Structure 1
Amino acid sequence: MVELAKGNTEVVAAKISQSIACEQLELQAVTSYPKSYNKMVEIAENEKRDQLRPLFYGLEKALKREILFLGFSNWCGGLPKIVVHFLENYNIKGKTIFPFCTLEGSAFGNSLFELKALCPHAKIMTDRACCTWLSCL
């Protein structure tokens, strides 16, 4: 297995950032995740099973924006628990969120349902035009 210098989500986020001239921010875990795919799958399964909320470094800058592009990989059929923890702890009310998922096999899985439940007062942009635009990057 080849180790990538940058993950797929980071690559797509950089393209979006360059296209619309916005700042790119990363949700960083306090405890780093392993680079091994198999170990990552094990951690993702544990986080989902035990409903864990991994700690992360603050992203106050992100919440000053009215529009957020939220990128993530599909973890065990849904949002990574670190993303869930972020959304549970910051006021997203009134924001417009453009989600993008970088897992090629099962696409968004249940993550859009989770996102809508976690952010009932945000506008979640999931229409075809948004997805078509993102896929052209």
Structure 2
Amino acid sequence: DTSTGKGEVFGKSNVVSQTAMVKGGLRFISEEQKEEARNQMREIVANNLPQTSATISFTDSYPAMVPTEGNNRLLAELNQVSLDLDQGEVIGYDPGKRGAADTSFVAEYVDCLDGLGTMGSGAHTPEETVNLNTIEDLTKRTAVLIYRLINQ
């Protein structure tokens, strides 16, 4: 079901379906990690059962955003702004668990941060929420960060 991203199957457990299609997404922190995952998937697909065939294809969308020292320096500056505004410590999210970011498209050319927007829960699900109470503080924090970066 393309509108919900859900599917159902039924039938006997000892029958190979005539056709099956699976779609998914890969998240990765480097192009090398992406290619390693793709190569492993290609090996699995190439090892299909006798009298069956299988293919796999990939479409690139977001490039990798490799953690860098420059990004860590920006994070340290953001953290200092947050502390100065009594908004608490800001720590980086585990790169292995993060998703795609618009900044990924320029990350190989310039130091970047992602995740400066509002807080919430249930990201990218029907249960996604936005905590509107976070907008003012996070906007202030980002504005002060930009001001400090411009005036260095």
One fold, TM greater than 0.5?
A: no
Q: Which has the higher contact order (CA 8 A, sep 6+)?
A: 1
Q: What's the TM-score, normalizing by structure 2?
A: 0.28
Return the index of the structure with the highest Cα Rg. Answer: 2
Q: What's the TM-score, normalizing by structure 1?
A: 0.30
More strand by share: 1
